[in-house]
């Protein structure tokens, strides 16, 4: 875990710096167990652990959509829009 101040609550500030870039990474706190794998192995340090022991998207503007976080997430709690399945197909139509 990082020594930096908790960034989980200040997500909006970072979004404002870039011209309204939509975050590509989505984390579902309901499923996240806070193992820290996505945070540790993100090549661009987009994610950080929050005070609630869950991963948070802190620097969405850095994201290169490599989707390694989504692939390595054991909890299926990370989703990268633009889709992480290699062929680039859009999957999953709607709720089930």
Partner 1 sequence: MPARLPYAYKYLRAKKKFPHVWCPGCGIGIVMGSIIRAIDSLGWELDDILMVSGIGCTSRMPVYVDFNTLHTTHGRALAFGTGAKMANPNLKVLAVMGDGDSMAIGGNHIIHAARRNMDITAIIVNNNNYGMTGGQFSPTTPQGARTSTTPYGMIEPDFDICKLTEAAGANYVARGDVYHVVELDGLFKKALSGSGFRVVEAMAPCPTNFGRANRQGDAVNMMELLRDETITIAQSAKLPREKTEGKTVRGIFVDKNEIGYLERYQALCDRVSPEVKK
The contact set with partner 1 (CB under 8 A) reads 26, 28, 30-31, 33-37, 40-41, 68, 70-79, 81, 83-87, 91-92, 94-96
Nearer to partner 1, 63 or 68 (CB): 68
CB 77 within 8 A of CB 69: no
Contact present, 59 and 68 (Cβ < 8 Å): no
Please state the closest distance from residue 53 (CB atom) to partner 1, in A.
9
In the complex, least distance from residue 29 CB atom to partner 1, rounded to whole angstroms: 9
Give the span between the Cα atoms of 79 and 86, in whole angstroms: 14
Pinpoint the alpha helices (H) of the chain: 11-17, 37-41, 68-72
- Minimum CB separation of residue 9 from partner 1 in Å reads 19
Asked if residues 26 and 75 have their Cβ atoms less than 8 Å apart, the reply is no
Judged by beta carbon, residue 58 or residue 70, the one nearer partner 1 is 70
Of 6 and 35, which has the nearer Cβ to partner 1?
35
């Amino acid at each position: 875990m990082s020594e930096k101040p908790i960034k989980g609550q200040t997500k909006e500030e970072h979004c404002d710096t870039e011209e309204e870039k939509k975050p590509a990474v989505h984390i579902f706190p309901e499923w996240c167990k806070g193992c820290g794998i996505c945070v540790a192995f993100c090549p661009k340090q987009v994610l950080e652990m929050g005070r609630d022991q869950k991963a948070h998207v802190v620097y969405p503007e850095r994201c290169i959509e490599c989707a390694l976080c989504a692939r390595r997430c054991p909890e299926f709690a990370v989703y990268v829009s633009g889709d992480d399945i290699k062929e680039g197909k859009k999957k999953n139509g709607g709720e089930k």
